[in-house]
Amino acid sequence: MVRADLRMIATSISYCQFHVVRLLRLQPGASIAVAFGSLVLLASLIAFVAQWRLAQDAAQELASMHLNVLPSKTKDRFDTGFARPDLPEFNSGALVSMLNKRASEIAVPLDEVTYVLDESANQPFLRYRVTLSIATSYSLTRRFIGDLGVAVPNMMLDAISCTRENIALPTPTCDLAFSAFYRKGGRG
């Protein structure tokens, strides 16, 4: 049985050798192109396998890091799985005075200021929308927004739109929309 297998292997090798030599004699250019293409394919396959292994290792490392980062307390979490932010009690007067104080500190004139309380029943927080217009330079507008972000960390910029009626005017008019978030329950 083993002799028959060895004889079959030897016959297969000599058969392949015959056809390879025949191909080299009849089509030497095509033979070299096929050999080169085979080497390129083999190198590409080896590179693919190496990159695939690196990706698998990175995915495992990311999964292990994700498990280490998850918080251990589950009582301070929303149903969405995000940690509950520490929101202040709702106090509209404090927000209005902080807004006016920051505007006067950097000499930004506030215009058309509106406040709207969005008290949705399906949200675990209160959203206080503030829209206003200012007519000042771009640098002072950026500074005003940055100062508000530091002074009122529970407030974020929703939208900004700046226009100039005339290109010769040095200061644009910017419409700003902010949202301040507060915990439910408090009234101010």
pTM (global) more than 0.75: no
Burial class (CB in 10 A: 0-12, 13-18, 19+), 148: buried
Q: Secondary structure of the chain: what % helix, strand, coil (to 5)?
A: 50, 25, 25
Give tens-digit pLDDT for 131-180: 999 988 888 899 999 888 888 888 889 999 988 888 887 788 899 999 98
Low-confidence ranges of the chain (pLDDT < 70): 66-85, 121, 185-188
